[in-house]
């Protein structure tokens, strides 16, 4: 179940060398990025990047997590089953919050009912350390009683040189098929209709069967978008909730312009269609790269620095004294309760899944008969 990224193998038997970390989470991009940061510091990282409860159950039964010293989950507390299984692993756990996960924890499905109870226990009682991707995310976590250190998940792509602007102005934006509303994709499409002579490039999503303006091109998911950055003039990013987008930093580092609904040096601030339209009109008149934005990234963000901070946290947790084999009565009771909950809730989740599958198949069959 665990995919090895072939990072340098080190031993922490003497507690002097960097230790083995299991990096996991629901999003491949962020999991791989966290593992790369740790690898810069000589850590060996096992990577688990699956979604759905069945792979997690298999992971728990497989027991590959036993060889790790620290478990680092990239994405906040979001899934009751993951929260429960990680709490039973007996390893120091780090939850790395990246932005929208805070919103889900506070008001989404993850906060309601029995799953909410388990997730709150995981966040407030069972976890060693919380990390936030930005000071804003740390402040938001602090408002709900979760203390978090700040370690930015910075991609290597911010270490780029300023390039001349493309001859033809083009606009870049991002959203996924399932989160168009969250990223306010309608505003971007409205701008495309307002500026028919400008090409708009959308990464992450396909057109999903809708009829976009003729000057909009959907590229879907891309592993490498360096060439897309180079042929783009401006990024438009207007999500409902955000940390500090890596995409914003990557564009600024290349001397590109950004229309953003967060007040960030080097960016044009816009919260709605009218403000974004005005900002885009201003950028259309510019012929030189965004030197100020590139300088802001270079002076304030360091991939090596963030990797070192993350490594220090993982090393500190791995080097904490091991508890005596004789566990306290309270710890035994707490572990037993979690085990019982796991044994009861996993079959319940399976039955719920089977019922949903039955209903889905029944609906499809009835439609076919009609």
pLDDT tens for 47-73 read: 987 766 677 777 777 777 788 889 999
Determine the pLDDT at residue 8. Answer: 38
How would residue 38 be classed by pLDDT, with cut points 50, 70 and 90?
very high
Residue indicated by tokens 């399932």: 178
Q: Which of 219-223, 251-255, 279-283, 317-321 has the lowest mean pLDDT?
A: 317-321
Greater model confidence, 9 or 91: 91
Upper half-sphere CA count for residue 164 (Cβ side, 13 Å): 3
Distance separating alpha carbons of residues 108 and 123, to the nearest angstrom: 15
How would residue 343 be classed by pLDDT, with cut points 50, 70 and 90?
low
Greater model confidence, 332 or 115: 115
Question: According to the 3-state scheme, what is the secondary structure of 135-181?
Answer: HHHHHHHHCCCCCCEECCCCCHHHCCCCCCCCCCCEEEEECCHHHCC
67 is written with which tokens?
């060889």
Determine the pLDDT at residue 306. Answer: 96
Mean pLDDT, the chain, rounded, equals: 84
How would residue 336 be classed by pLDDT, with cut points 50, 70 and 90?
low
Determine the pLDDT at residue 85. Answer: 80
Q: Which of 132-141, 172-181, 209-218 has the lowest mean pLDDT?
A: 209-218
Domains in the chain, ordered, with CATH?
3-154+305-322 (3.40.50.2000), 156-301 (3.40.50.2000)
Would you say residue 11 has pLDDT above 50? no
Average pLDDT over residues 226-245: 92
Nearest to 177 by CA among 214, 215, 218: 218
How would residue 290 be classed by pLDDT, with cut points 50, 70 and 90?
very high
Would you say residue 36 has pLDDT above 70? yes
SS3 at position 46: strand
Is residue 234 a contact partner of residue 257, using CB atoms and an 8 Å limit? yes
The percent of residues in the chain predicted with pLDDT above 70, rounded, is: 84
> In this structure, what are the phi and psi dihedrals at residue 284, rounded to the nearest 5 degrees?
-60, -25
Determine the pLDDT at residue 318. Answer: 86
Average pLDDT over residues 180-193: 92
Determine the pLDDT at residue 5. Answer: 43
Would you say residue 2 has pLDDT above 50? no
Question: How far, rounded to the nearest angstrom, does the alpha carbon of residue 256 sit from its chain's CA centroid?
Answer: 23
How would residue 327 be classed by pLDDT, with cut points 50, 70 and 90?
very low
Would you say residue 9 has pLDDT above 60? no
Average pLDDT over residues 278-302: 95
How would residue 303 be classed by pLDDT, with cut points 50, 70 and 90?
very high
Q: How many CB atoms lie within 10 A of CB 238?
A: 23
Pairing, β 170-174 against β 93-97 = unpaired
Pairing, β 44-48 against β 3-4 = antiparallel
Would you say residue 156 has pLDDT above 70? yes
Strands in 199-203's sheet, in edge-to-edge order, are 216-220, 199-203, 170-174, 234-237, 257-260, 268-269
Would you say residue 154 has pLDDT above 60? yes
């Amino acid at each position: 179940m665990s995919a090895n990224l072939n990072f340098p193998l080190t031993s922490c038997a003497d507690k002097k060398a960097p230790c083995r970390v299991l990096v996991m989470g629901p999003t491949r991009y962020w999991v791989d990025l966290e593992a790369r940061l740790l690898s810069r510091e000589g850590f060996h990282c096992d990577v688990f990047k699956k979604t759905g409860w069945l792979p997690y159950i298999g992971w728990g039964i497989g027991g590959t997590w036993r060889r790790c010293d620290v478990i680092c989950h990239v994405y906040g507390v979001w899934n009751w089953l993951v929260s429960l299984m990680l709490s039973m692993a007996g390893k120091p756990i780090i939850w790395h919050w990246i932005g929208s996960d805070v919103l889900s924890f506070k008001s989404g499905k993850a906060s309601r009912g029995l799953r909410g109870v388990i997730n709150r226990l995981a966040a407030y009682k069972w976890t060693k350390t919380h990390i936030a991707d930005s000071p804003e995310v740390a402040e938001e976590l602090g408002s709900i009683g979760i203390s978090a250190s700040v370690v930015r998940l910075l991609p290597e792509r911010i270490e780029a040189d300023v390039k001349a602007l493309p001859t033809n102005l083009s606009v870049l934006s991002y959203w996924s098929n399932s989160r168009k509303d969250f990223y306010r994709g309608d505003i971007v499409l409205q701008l495309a209709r307002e500026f028919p002579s400008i090409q708009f490039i959308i990464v992450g999503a396909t057109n999903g069967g809708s009829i976009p303006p003729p000057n909009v091109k959907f590229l879907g998911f891309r592993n490498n978008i360096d060439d897309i950055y180079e042929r783009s003039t401006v990024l438009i990013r207007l999500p409902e909730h955000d940390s500090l987008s890596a995409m914003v930093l990557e564009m600024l580092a290349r001397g590109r312009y950004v229309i953003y609904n967060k007040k960030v040096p080097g960016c044009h601030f816009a919260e709605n269609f009218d403000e974004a339209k005005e900002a885009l009109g201003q950028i259309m008149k510019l012929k030189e790269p965004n030197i100020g934005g590139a300088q802001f990234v270079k002076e304030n963000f360091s991939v090596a620095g963030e990797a070192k901070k993350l490594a220090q946290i993982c090393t500190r947790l791995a080097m904490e004294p091991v508890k005596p084999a004789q566990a306290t009565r309270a710890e035994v009771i707490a572990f037993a309760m979690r085990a019982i909950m796991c044994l009861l809730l996993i079959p319940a989740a399976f039955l719920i899944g089977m019922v949903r599958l039955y209903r889905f198949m029944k609906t499809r069959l009835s439609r076919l008969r009609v």
